[in-house]
């Protein structure tokens, strides 16, 4: 059985991958860089996830997230990142606003 990574490491890896993704917009890159800095400083994961959700929601509501960042946003609002159920608002909202159905 494969050992599950720390949630902080998983998020750091995803953020780093998105920072290198050519489809990530400059606006998204700025938000992700801040999240990366916080992860490297070992800020509490729930704080980082809340910050990402807060910063990305306006762009998600306008369907202006790149595909990769939209997937990250879906996972955030579905509660799949961080401690289970902490930020659960439903996969439907994340899928719609994250651009999953585009």
Specify whether the CB–CB gap between 45 and 6 falls below 8 A: no
Q: Give CA separation, 23 vs 3, 7, 26, in Å.
A: 31, 24, 9
pLDDT tens digits, 38-87: 999 999 999 999 999 999 999 999 999 999 999 999 999 988 886 544 44
> 102 in a domain, yes or no?
no
pTM over 0.75: yes
Structural domains in the chain (count) = 1
* Mean pLDDT computed over 20-43: 96
In a domain? residue 88: no
In a domain, 11, yes or no: yes
Residue 32 belongs to some domain of the structure: yes
* Domain span at 26: 7-78
- CATH number of the domain where residue 16 is located: 1.20.1440
Ramachandran quadrant class, 85 (left: phi over 0; alpha: psi -120 to 50; beta: rest) = left
């Amino acid at each position: 059985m494969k050992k599950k990574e720390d949630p902080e490491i998983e998020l750091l890896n995803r953020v780093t991958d998105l920072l290198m993704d050519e489809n990530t917009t400059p606006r998204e890159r700025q938000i992700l860089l801040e999240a990366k800095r916080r992860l490297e400083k070992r800020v509490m994961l729930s704080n980082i996830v809340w910050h990402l959700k807060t910063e990305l929601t306006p762009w998600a509501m306008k369907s202006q997230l790149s595909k990769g960042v939209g997937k990250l946003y879906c996972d955030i609002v579905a509660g799949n990142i961080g401690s289970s159920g902490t930020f659960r608002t439903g996969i439907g909202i994340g899928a719609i606003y994250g651009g999953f159905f585009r």
